[in-house]
Amino acid sequence: MLELLENLGKTTRSSFAKLGRGTFFLTHILTGISEVLPRPSLLMKQMYSVGVLSFLIITISGLFVGMVLGLQGFNILSDFGAEESLGVMVAASLVRELGPVVSALLFAGRAGSALTAEIGLMKATEQLSGMEMMAVDPIKRIISPRFLAGFLSMPLLAALFSAIGVMGGYMVGVGMLGVDDGAFWAQMQANIDFREDIINGVIKSVVFGFVVSWIALFEGYDAIPTSEGVSRATTRTVVNSAFSILGLDFILTALMFGDI
Amino acid sequence: MANSVSSANIIVSVKNLSFSRGSRKIFDDVSLDIQRGKITAIMGPSGTGKTTLLKLIGGQLYPDKGQIHVDGQNVHRLKTADLYTLRKRMGMLFQSGALLTDMNVYDNVAFPLREHTHLPESMIRTLVLMKLHAVGLRGARNLMPSELSGGMARRVALARAIALDPLMIMYDEPFTGQDPISMGALVHLIKSLNVTLGLTSIIVSHDVQETAAIADYIYVLSEGKIVGQGTPQQLEKSDSQWVQQFMNGYADGPVHFHYPANDYLDDLLASQ
Amino acid sequence: MQHSKTQDTLVGLFVASGIAALFYMALQISNLGTYTSNDSYTVIARFQNSGGLKVKSPVSVAGVRIGRVSSISLDRESHESVVEMRIESKYNNIPDDSGASIYTAGLLGEQYISIDPGSSEEFLKDKSKLDITSSAIVLEEMIGKFMLNKAEGK
């Protein structure tokens, strides 16, 4: 019993210590961003590996999610004779929820895990330490550009996901199931509010981009520098990112759309 | 210690250094001096914290007790900016080379120049080619680190370490895992760089023959203490059994072949 | 650093397509394309019961949307529902004796205000009141009445 309490205490203490390290790490990254901006080539390279390489998975997933929404929505809505609302349904679910959330989950799996593994391996092969000995701050030189790239890419990826998802819903709803073209768009435009829906969705994706990049880079930087340590850190990135995304999504949704 | 007399000649001075990891004491009140312009070797069996000593000198780790002065400055009292300025004058060669894997050889050597100077690209090119020529790898400039052998990677790392013309270079196990030819090349390089560039070299190693061949002075560390010091010739003749065992590589001596265990026969019988 | 042209181009394409997607969402998916928040005037109507009417419910004339409900509040004295709606200023020729009714789009659809134009020569202005109103039809109430009539008729 005493042992259990002792273990619990230890775990709690170490998770607080980790949060503390993470926060310190974050402030360090943020101060480094001012040094990234004058060197766009550093950012370009990371935008490529974080953003461009996630493009395909995001757009293809977006297309299929939109098509599925079109099919399922049509089945439900046609029971009430409200097929014209298909556009609203597809667009609202994508813009408010699925766009930011699913693209952030995919982003964590595609780009986040890659970032963790990359940083973890750089630590394991003493590249970070070597850089420190060359009087180059590895957080500012290596981590900050990656953070900025993740933070900037996420809203763009989420927007792509939603936009392509709506097209997928249109293809299925209007193209295959015969919903009226005009009604599809008119209902959508009448009911999706720019500030309430679109801007809030973008805010969500900005928050997710920030959090996922932070988690991924910190797990890599904090990893135990062995192959097992790096592989564990990669897993933690995906798991912790997923928890954070879904938890934050609830909080943000409650703040934005809820009456709580 | 004759501090005032020889301080101009001493580039690194370690005083009463204690450092522990968890409950394990890695250094226990160690003092040593490293002379300017010489090759000083720090030797000892694996796991005696030789690499840790280099990290302490480089300011990457903090000692529990004691001070380390590099070129007259207390490393652990410096502000980050000053520490970074000091580090520009210390090169360090990591065991793995620690080359940046996403850049080719040329860019790796150019890295410190690009980070710390605002030289035009044509000047950087000249400098990089000079450094690469010094280590004999001018022709390998377009290879990626993954295409290099271990010995070549270390030579590239050496070219990178001397890119900023440092005062001193710290070598972390430069000979480990090298074939005889690259070993010979590295021994020759370390010696000739020391002479031609007027560097101070600190070598951390357990390869007795190679290190003894080029070192001017050797410290032998064991279990957190200095157990022997002197020129290679002095150590040869040392009357310490421990030093004799280490320098000559005897399997048994003060350091036992067996990891501490209870009685062999008891152990075999107890398993039933 | 090796500067790769293709890489820069791909990043450029990526950023451009992301921004295009944002614009697409703003203009094609949302109501931003039909936004006219500045050019509108407010009209007030009082209802006995505004039912399921909500802020942002459409206001229409002859089935054409001309504005949206901007606020719904309760008059503390008369216990009536006070509904303010913003009407786009290009529809500035609605007679001031028009009536407002709350209807439901389809049996289960959302509720909206329909304005039936009157015959006055005067038109609605900012802060005008609509006097002739008919309340929302509450389905439960109707069913209740219907059942009662049935029961009495028996």
Q: Give the number of A-C residue pairs with CB atoms closer than 8 Å.
A: 97
Instruction: Report how far residue B2's alpha carbon sits from residue A81's, in angstroms, rounded to the nearest whole number.
Output: 98
Check residue C34 and give its pLDDT: 59
Mean pLDDT of C102-117: 79
Check residue A58 and give its pLDDT: 94
As a whole number of Å, the CA-based R_g of chain C is 23
Higher pLDDT, A258 or B5: A258
pTM equals: 0.78
Contacts of A155 (CB under 8 A, 6+ apart): A202, A205, A206, A209, C18, C22
| DSSP characters over B97-116 | ----TTS-HHHHHHHHHHHH
Check residue A246 and give its pLDDT: 95
What ipTM describes this predicted complex? Answer: 0.81
How close B138 comes to chain C (CA, Å)? 18
Confidence of residue A168 (pLDDT cuts 50, 70, 90): very high
Instruction: Report how far residue A211's alpha carbon sits from residue A222's, in angstroms, rounded to the nearest whole number.
Output: 16
With 90 as the cut, is the pLDDT of residue B228 above it? no
Confidence of residue B272 (pLDDT cuts 50, 70, 90): low
Furthest-apart CA atoms within chain B: distance in Å: 75
Check residue C1 and give its pLDDT: 44
Check residue A229 and give its pLDDT: 93
Q: What are the chain B neighbours of A129 within 8 Å (beta carbons)? A: 55, 60, 94, 98
Instruction: Report how far residue B224's alpha carbon sits from residue B14's, in angstroms, rounded to the nearest whole number.
Output: 14
Q: Give the number of B-C residue pairs with CB atoms closer than 8 Å.
A: 6
Percentage of chain B beyond pLDDT 70 is: 96
Task: Yes or no: say if B112 and A136 are a contact pair by the CB < 8 Å rule.
Answer: yes
Q: Which chains touch B (3 or more CB pairs under 8 A)?
A: A, C
With 60 as the cut, is the pLDDT of residue A128 above it? yes
Lowest mean pLDDT among A119-123, B126-130, C124-128: C124-128
Task: Yes or no: say if B116 and B164 are a contact pair by the CB < 8 Å rule.
Answer: yes
Selecting from A121, A127, A133 the residue whose C-beta is nearest the C-beta of B87 gives A133
Check residue A206 and give its pLDDT: 94
List pLDDT tens digits, range A151-163.
Answer: 999 999 999 999 9
Percentage of chain A beyond pLDDT 90 is: 55
Check residue B7 and give its pLDDT: 60
Selecting from C11, C24, C25 the residue whose C-beta is nearest the C-beta of A52 gives C11
Selecting from B98, B100, B101 the residue whose C-beta is nearest the C-beta of A129 gives B98
Q: Nearest residue of A to residue C15 by CA position?
A: A156
With 80 as the cut, is the pLDDT of residue A7 above it? yes
Q: Nearest residue of C to residue A87 by CA position?
A: C29
Ordered by start, the domain boundaries in chain A are 43-252
Query: What torsion do the CA atoms of B181, B187, B192, B194 make, to the nearest 10 degrees?
Result: 160
Q: Nearest residue of A to residue B162 by CA position?
A: A134
Contact criterion met (CB < 8 Å) for C2 and B114: no
Selecting from A126, A137, A141 the residue whose C-beta is nearest the C-beta of B98 gives A126
Selecting from A48, A55, A198 the residue whose C-beta is nearest the C-beta of C25 gives A198
With 50 as the cut, is the pLDDT of residue C108 above it? yes
Interface of A with C (CB under 8 A): 41, 44-45, 47-48, 51-52, 55, 80-82, 91, 95, 153, 155-157, 159-160, 162-164, 166, 185, 188-194, 197-198, 201-202
Contact criterion met (CB < 8 Å) for A135 and B84: yes
Q: Chain B within 8 Å of A137 (Cβ-Cβ)?
A: yes
Contact criterion met (CB < 8 Å) for C1 and B103: yes
Contact criterion met (CB < 8 Å) for A160 and C21: yes
Higher pLDDT, C2 or C24: C24
Retrieve residue B115's tokens: 């980070």
Contacts of C36 (CB under 8 A, 6+ apart): C88, C89
With 50 as the cut, is the pLDDT of residue B3 above it? no
With 80 as the cut, is the pLDDT of residue B194 above it? yes
Task: Yes or no: say if C7 and A44 are a contact pair by the CB < 8 Å rule.
Answer: yes
